[in-house]
Structure 1
């Protein structure tokens, strides 16, 4: 004879029965992306271009580092490049007129290629003295000020991308019966400045459970007006098993 207790327990574990009511699960709002920006080279800060709380665009300068020596080297390399371009052009004409052998024209062209590489190297060293924003976002941390010396291991800024937010929740395996990446769920933010009700997309259902048997789920919600702030609580409505 079958044990009715075991049958009921198995049904609960496997999520047996039709999906009916939505079960609200509390989660935490995380930024869609966040980066820590460090100086590309060790140097002294000469100017900070942005403040905390400021919105920035990808590629926007955030800070300037001391680079006078690199600028002078770039100027020298540019002058040398212009000279090599003139010499190579002249050598080419002389070779075409059969005044000099091909080896002389080839040597002039090689010197030009080397001068071009030197100039590009010097220009890159100058470029490394500017710290650029790697993405669109909000500057939430500015860790240093002008005059301070920084290394490549010291973060200068922390930038958050809040054009979308990620709501992370932990659920019981039986709540995942009808849940998979790509599914749409309702998400509410009761602690926002104004309570918000939105729809989100499930982007992750962790294939591994934690030590308590709970599964991590991530839901992405569009946030174009930045009304949803990182760090607040949210409620995600997940399909739940019907009562027998």
Structure 2
């Protein structure tokens, strides 16, 4: 039986659907990347900066957590640091003029180093009160509202990177042919007038118990018109 005429009967799997014919397989579209953003510390949500459907950039603030006490502690640590810096400079001048012993000058330097560590620790606690986007993407879920108390590690947002999409499918190992990572294939969406170009990024080196192999195809989606979750047909029967 020729490769073109052979039919592959593959049961439905999560993230993939049955193969249609050798060299033409239907799969499901997945986001290129997705991440669940959690609260870095236990606190209360003071302000939500984004809503569902918003496009965000990496490093953009998503939410502010209450942190008045932490801000006050940082101010105290900064004042102490400025004082230790002044004392260390004064001690150095006195030591250079042989007015105080080396041990006294060293003591002020150690106090200065400790003050720097205290300030950095306090500043980090303040920074943790701003929840930042870890990647470019679209906010698809906001799990909490302003005023709610959250625990460290509790989910706040889910962000999808749809600048590219992945078509995931399973193919009978005997029907893979020359399909290999780096190969360009055609990707047909149900409502698309023209096929899109995709690139194979993974052909799993291990088949499952039924002889099927997982394949992932990446398609550019800069305009974000391709939606996650829809079905797409991948054709490599005569793709280059």
Please give the TM-score of this superposition, normalised by the length of structure 2.
0.88
**Offset at 1:196?**
4.8
- In structure 2, the partner of 1:187 is 187
Highest RCO, 1 vs 2 (Cα 8 Å, sep ≥ 6): 1
Structure 1: 5+ residue stretches without partners:
1-7, 14-20
**Offset at 1:154?**
1.8
- In structure 2, the partner of 1:110 is 110
Q: Does 1:139 align with 2:139?
A: yes
Structure 2: 5+ residue stretches without partners:
7-20
Q: Out of 206, 214, 217, which is 2:215 matched to?
A: 217
1:18-52 deviation per Cα after TM superposition (whole angstroms, max 9, x unaligned): xxx97321110000000000000011111000000
Q: Does 1:206 align with 2:192?
A: no
Name the CA distance, whole Å, in 1 between partners of 2:131 and 2:44.
12
Larger helix fraction of residues: 1
1:67-100 deviation per Cα after TM superposition (whole angstroms, max 9, x unaligned): 1111110000000000000000010111111111
Name the CA distance, whole Å, in 1 between partners of 2:82 and 2:188.
63
Q: Does 1:177 align with 2:177?
A: yes
Name the CA distance, whole Å, in 2 between partners of 1:153 and 1:46.
17
8 Å CA contact 2:41–2:153 kept in 1: the answer is no
Name the CA distance, whole Å, in 2 between partners of 1:72 and 1:44.
17
Superposition RMSD in Å: 2.0
- In structure 2, the partner of 1:236 is 234
1:206-232 deviation per Cα after TM superposition (whole angstroms, max 9, x unaligned): 122223322110001111111111111
- Structure 1 outlier segments of 4+, above 3 Å: none
- SS state at 1:239 partner: coil
Please give the TM-score of this superposition, normalised by the length of structure 1.
0.86
- In structure 1, the partner of 2:24 is 24
- In structure 2, the partner of 1:84 is 84
